[in-house]
Amino acid sequence: MPQNSLWRAYGYAWITLAFFLFSLAGHWLFGWFAFVQEQAQHGQPVEVPAYLAEMFRDTFENWQSEFLQLLWQVGGLAFFLFLGSPQSKEGSDRLEAKIDVILRRVDPVDGEGVIHELDERYAGRHTDDPEGHGA
């Protein structure tokens, strides 16, 4: 297995993480410039704790209103599809039932045997056949 397989397998995630870190760093850097300018306009000293409090507030506010919502909608959906939620299995069950019917019609003699062999091979992953022919 190539050494860079982790980079290739999760390339989209690495690019997304890089964009996220770049934008977060830019948000905090330009936030610092704006904070320093605002403090100077009001004749106030530049204090790091006040800046941190303001930036954490702004960051979490943005996180809550934008990123967290998107993360849940996209990431949560992908996660539950990966886990095999009932909603994600509906299409698979229907497809499997159709393929079983096709196998039985194409090969009436051995079709049932092929279906049974596949059911045995994938016993942990097989769901009930709507026609009652499942494992």
* pLDDT digits (tens), the chain, 135 positions: 456 678 888 888 889 899 989 999 999 999 999 999 999 999 999 999 999 999 999 998 888 878 778 878 888 788 777 776 665 566 677 788 888 999 899 988 888 998 889 888 887 654 444 444 444
Question: d(Cα 61, Cα 54) in Å, to the nearest integer?
Answer: 11
Among residues 109, 117, 115, the alpha carbon closest in space to that of 129 is found at 115
Category of 124 on φ-ψ map: left (φ > 0), alpha (ψ -120 to 50) or beta:
alpha
| Per-residue pLDDT at 33 | 97
| Per-residue pLDDT at 134 | 45
Whether residue 89 contacts residue 110, with contact meaning beta carbons closer than 8 Å, is answered with no
| Per-residue pLDDT at 124 | 62
> For the residues of 18-67, what is the DSSP string, one character each?
HHHHHHHHHHHHHHHHHHHHHHHHTT----HHHHHHHHHHHHHHHIIIII
CA-CA distances (angstroms) from residue 73 to 13, 77, 80? 16, 6, 11
Neighbours of 89 (CB within 10 A): 13
Tokens of residue 122, six digits: 């994938």
| Per-residue pLDDT at 87 | 58
Whether residue 64 contacts residue 80, with contact meaning beta carbons closer than 8 Å, is answered with no
Whether residue 93 contacts residue 100, with contact meaning beta carbons closer than 8 Å, is answered with no
